[in-house]
Structure 1
Amino acid sequence: MKTMKLGTSSLEVPVVAVGCMRIDSLNKAEAEQFIQTALEQGANFFDHADIYGAGACEEKFADAIQMNESIREKIILQSKCGIRKGMFDFSKEHILESVDGILKRLKTDYLDILLLHRPDTLVEPDEVAEAFNTLESSGKVRHFGVSNQTPMQIQLLKKSVKQPLVTNQLQLSITNATMISSGFNVNMQNDAAVHRDGSVLDYCRLNDITIQPWSPFQYGFFEGVFLGNDKFPELNKVIDEIADKYEVSNTTIAIAWLLRHPAHMQPVTGTMNIERLIDCCKASEVQLSREDWYAIYRGAGNVLP
């Protein structure tokens, strides 16, 4: 597995992250085999959130990996907080309480990265800064980032937060690529020209913030996967042809498409299927040509101006 620096940090991470949102659907033996496979592939970066399975996913992961000090040194743990039932909460009290819960469930003393999960419009940047300072000075969190945030929301946090925000986790896939499409359709009178995210792709590149695409196989908002889907015949035709050319699976090509972008993104997988996980990891070794990347983009129904 190839590696990369995460944001402006010195943290060396695999280019593919393993999402653990559904790990509570596995029994212990299945979870153990899944995690072992990930480690064998060099995918030692595991993404969590305190709301995944209402905390059950973090517990299942810790039990399956048989967390101890030796194992902890070999893996990179990221988790997220800030979502509560019926609200978002970036208050100092909630952030600190959430991290303590995360650490207890993961059976570890520290997180490598903590992300603020979804923007809280009632956020007080000074409170976030106080929470981050406490977590950093206590050694409970080593690096910080955000998820699903626009450039201005990040700038608002940076007004008070002194720690570098090393990553922004955003929805991005071949079929959900508005952050890319708007950059092609500058000042044009069509839907693709609409900036829905404040030019977050360019902002993250300019500020060395690593984009972590979530749901890299989904279309819409959890409507389903596009691979092998009759709703996307042309896209699947193109992907399958390119997969044959590189002698890999369509899953590998879908991840390789994201990795080919010069923003140096770190896709977060969501599959609990071992074979698909292996196929995702194989994307690290595939460098799509410019022609192939654009062919896939157009295959999704995107029109170049």
Structure 2
Amino acid sequence: MKTVPLGSTETPVPNIIAGMMRIADKTPEQVRALYSAARDAGVDFFDHADLYGFNHPGGYHHCERVFAEALRLSGAEREQITLQTKTGIVDEQWHYDSSYEHIVASVEDSLRALGTEYIDVLLLHRPDALVEPEEVARAFDELESSGKVRAFGVSNHTPRQIDLLKTAVRQPLLVNQVQLSLTHSAIVAQGLASNMAGQEDSLTRDGGGIVDYCRVQGITLQAWSPFQKGAEPGVFLGAEDYPELNTELDRLAALYGVTPLAIATAWITRHPANMQVVLGTTNPQRIADAAAGSDLPLTRGEWYGLLQAAGHHVP
């Protein structure tokens, strides 16, 4: 398992993350099997959010509780893993809340749900148009000084939204979790066709290019939904509407002796931004398959070939 630095720190973390969004209805045995498969593959980083499981009887923090109750980690084992959670989305009159009160209360609930004394990484789940950076800073300062949160970051934020937070937040923002897959790859492809009129990939939409910005700022990008088609439901792996891409994935899978899922993972991990891939699977075998792409050395030609097969213009 390849490791990458966590943001601007020297802390090594695996470039594959086990996402716990879909464990709400899983049995303790299934959660333990998923956890064991992750650890066996070298994945010791687990991603949560207060929102996950909100539409189940357990409500908010449900998936965090399912995880903790199934594993009942000892203190020693807890120290071996990284627990990341997110806050800021409220389902009642669906909205976002980055107020001091909401952030602190959510973390307290996450600590109880996860049965732990600290969160390794806390992310703001979505940009809040009503954000007051001083409120976020006050919450982060209190959570850090009390030892309840060790590191901070954001999710789905643009460069300017991060800059706005940094006007008040003194902690380094180490992470930005964003949607990225071969077929939802505008943040990587944008600008490749620079100076070419009429090309979609000549545009830069997020205020300066989030990938380049995060590389400059020492922020680790975490790719969520790494196999999803994009705005459409379903995955592109084996999908009839992506014949050229799947032909290329199958060819490279045969060449490297891995699964197409590993190749799709490797397309992200091959990028020099040292991204982490957030898996949403509850299938233990798929974790092992993805881990095979953790450090798979795709050539530049293969990497660009996949990008073109996914429908992007490479001049």
The residue that corresponds to 1:271 in the other structure is 281
| Candidates 136, 139, 142, aligned match of 1:128 | 136
Q: Distance in 1 between matches of 2:37 and 2:258?
A: 18
| Candidates 94, 97, 102, aligned match of 1:89 | 97
CA deviations over 1:171-229 (Å, ceiling 9, x no partner): 01100111122120223333222322221111001111000010000012251100000
Is contact 1:50–1:81 with CA below 8 Å preserved after alignment? yes
CA deviations over 1:95-114 (Å, ceiling 9, x no partner): 00000011110000001100
State the SS of the aligned residue for 2:266. helix
Identity rate, percent: 49
Shift of 1:11: 2.3
The residue that corresponds to 1:193 in the other structure is 202
The residue that corresponds to 1:299 in the other structure is 309
Q: Distance in 1 between matches of 2:25 and 2:301?
A: 39
TM-score normalised by the chain length of structure 2: 0.95
Give the letter aligned to residue 175 of structure 1: T
The residue that corresponds to 2:263 in the other structure is 253
1:134-283 correspondence to structure 2 within 5 Å: 134-189=142-197, 190-198=199-207, 199-221=209-231, 223-283=233-293
1:68-87 correspondence to structure 2 within 5 Å: 68-85=74-91, 86-87=94-95
Is contact 1:174–1:300 with CA below 8 Å preserved after alignment? yes
The residue that corresponds to 1:102 in the other structure is 110
State the SS of the aligned residue for 1:256. helix
Give the letter aligned to residue 239 of structure 2: N
TM-score normalised by the chain length of structure 1: 0.98
Give 1 or 2: higher helix fraction.
1
Shift of 1:250: 0.4
CA deviations over 1:69-117 (Å, ceiling 9, x no partner): 1221111000000000211000000000000011110000001100000
Query: Which shows bigger deviation, 172-181 or 64-73?
Result: 64-73
RMSD: 1.0
Is contact 1:67–1:108 with CA below 8 Å preserved after alignment? no
1:9-28 correspondence to structure 2 within 5 Å: 9-28=9-28
Is contact 1:14–1:45 with CA below 8 Å preserved after alignment? yes
State the SS of the aligned residue for 2:121. strand
1:57-68 correspondence to structure 2 within 5 Å: 57-68=63-74
Q: Distance in 2 between matches of 1:220 and 1:8?
A: 29
Gaps of 5+ in 2: 55-60
Q: Distance in 2 between matches of 1:35 and 1:222?
A: 29
The residue that corresponds to 1:56 in the other structure is 62
**Matched positions, count:** 305
Gaps of 5+ in 1: none
Q: Distance in 2 between matches of 1:290 and 1:149?
A: 28
Q: Distance in 1 between matches of 2:240 and 2:44?
A: 34
Is contact 2:37–2:285 with CA below 8 Å preserved after alignment? no
CA deviations over 1:251-291 (Å, ceiling 9, x no partner): 10000000011111011011111111111111123111111
State the SS of the aligned residue for 2:190. helix
